Amino acid sequence: MNYKTKLSDNITTVEMTGRFTFGDHSSFRKLIEEVRDHDSTTMVLDIAGVEFIDSAGLGMLLLARDEGEKSSTTVVLRGAQGQVKRMLEVARFDTLFKLED
């Protein structure tokens, strides 16, 4: 997984690309720490460029949500497509996150 962050109007947008799997745990932790320093009210994880996610990737999204709750930051998942969208639907992430097309 690759990512780049952008801060604008108290919203941190993270554009994620590639495969989001167990092997990305350390880089995702680093991302969460980086975003925490932004002190924004909303974190948008733009996952339109993510072509594959496994159960560990889903778990990391839950970690992001938990970190957001600690700092009153809303976590939004944007642009899920294909296999990623199906995984989010099966895992009922619509009940845990705000999902945007």
- What are the extents of the domains in the chain? 2-100
Q: Spell out the long-range contacts of 91-94 with Cβ–Cβ below 8 A and sequence spacing 24 or more.
A: 91/58, 93/58, 93/61
What would be the CATH architecture of the domain defined by 2-100?
A: 2-Layer Sandwich (3.30)
Q: Which residues is 16 bridged to in the sheet?
A: 3
pTM across the whole model? 0.95
Q: Scan for tokens 């993510």, then name that residue.
A: 50
99, 88, 51, 29 alpha-carbon torsion, rounded to 10°: 80
- Predicted pLDDT of residue 39: 86
Q: What number of other Cβ atoms are within 10 A of residue 10's Cβ? A: 11
Q: Per-10-residue mean pLDDT for the chain, 101 residues long?
A: 95 98 96 90 98 98 96 96 98 97 93
The pLDDT value given to residue 32: 93
Which of 40, 52, 63, 36 lies closest to 1 in space, CA to CA? 52
